[in-house]
Amino acid sequence: MRFFVDTADVAAIAELNDLGMVDGVTTNPSLILKSGRNILEVTKEICGIVSGPVSAEVVAMKAEDMIAEGRKLADIAENIAVKVPLTWDGLKTCKVLSDDGLMVNVTLCFSANQALLAAKAGATFISPFIGRLDDINLDGLELISDIRQIYDNYGFDTQILAASIRTANHVTQCALIGADVMTAPPAVIKALATHVLTDKGLDQFNKDWAQTGQKIL
């Protein structure tokens, strides 16, 4: 499973990229707002840091305008994946841009039927939102499983990009189900290295080492 980082924080992206923990980046209008930077400027900088897909989202509501925005975003760099919402206009945009040979990430997916439509429209990625479904007492991971089965049944090439990842368990379950990609904030990715027994074991090792009175350097 590939790891994308869900942020527009250039420093955080660079840190994870240097460790080999980033295969791509996802951004959205909310993350651009949080960064406080111009969308074209910060997206170009991100594309220069990572070699994998960088999702940049359109903000228009109508297909004609989405297509124009998508083409402008795609001009930023070769590794741009144009991000469009899972609406009828978004699907129209996906079809046009995919036919142009551009990567398209269809976002805000909350049902298997939506994912099926996105695949038929030629989406490179489909982004089901796990955490937001959990928030309304629906099983976000079940959606990932359903999409995986449908795509495998019919040989769709669209990659499942599990989004709205909130916990380490989300990551584990997505990997077990067979999601192609997951995207999560930097803090969630870093939290994958944490385990209470690791901390406990390290604490004991340090106490025992102190009693030896030795030094390595």
Is 83 one of the catalytic residues? yes
User: For residue range 112-169, what is the model confidence (pLDDT) as tens digits?
Assistant: 999 999 999 999 999 999 999 999 999 999 999 999 999 999 999 999 999 999 999 9
Whole domain around residue 55: which residue ranges?
A: 2-212
Band of residue 67 on the pLDDT scale cut at 50, 70, 90: very high
Reported confidence tier of residue 104, pLDDT bands at 50, 70, 90: very high
**Residue 29 domain-assigned (yes or no):** yes
* pTM of the full structure: 0.95
Report the relative pairing of strands 80-85 and 54-57 from DSSP bridges: parallel
- Please tell me the total count of domains within the chain: 1
pLDDT in the model for residue 135:
95
117 inside domain: yes
- In SS3 terms, 131-168 reads as HHHHHCCCCHHHHHHHHHHHHHHHCCCCEEEEECCCCH
Give me the pLDDT at residue 18, please: 96
Residue 217 counted as domain residue: no
110 φ, ψ (degrees, to nearest 5): -130, 5
What's the pLDDT at 103? 98
Does any domain span residue 152? yes
Please check whether residue 146 lies inside any domain of the structure.
Answer: yes
Q: For a pLDDT cut of 90, what percent of the chain falls above it?
A: 100
Question: What does the pLDDT average to over 48-71?
Answer: 98
**Tens digit of pLDDT for each residue in 70-100?**
999 999 999 999 999 999 999 999 999 999 9
Q: What is the amino acid identity at position 93?
A: T
Query: For the residues 169-192, what does the mean pLDDT come to?
Result: 97
Residue 91 belongs to a domain: yes
The total number of residues written for the chain in this structure: 217
Which member of 72, 83, 95, 207 is catalytic?
83
What mean pLDDT is reported for the chain?
Answer: 97
Task: Copy the structure tokens of residue 85.
Answer: 């919402």
| Within a domain: 150 | yes
**Does 54 reside within a domain?**
yes
CA 9 to each of CA 146, 154, 206: distance values in angstroms, whole numbers, following the listed order: 32, 38, 35
Residue 204 CB neighbour total at 10 angstroms: 10
Mean pLDDT of 107-111: 98
Q: Within 10 A of 178 (CB to CB), how many other CB atoms are there?
A: 15
- The Cα 135–Cα 183 span in angstroms is 18
For the domain that residue 145 is a member of, what is the CATH number?
A: 3.20.20.70
Q: Please tell me the predicted confidence (pLDDT) of residue 58.
A: 98
Q: What pLDDT is recorded for position 163? A: 98
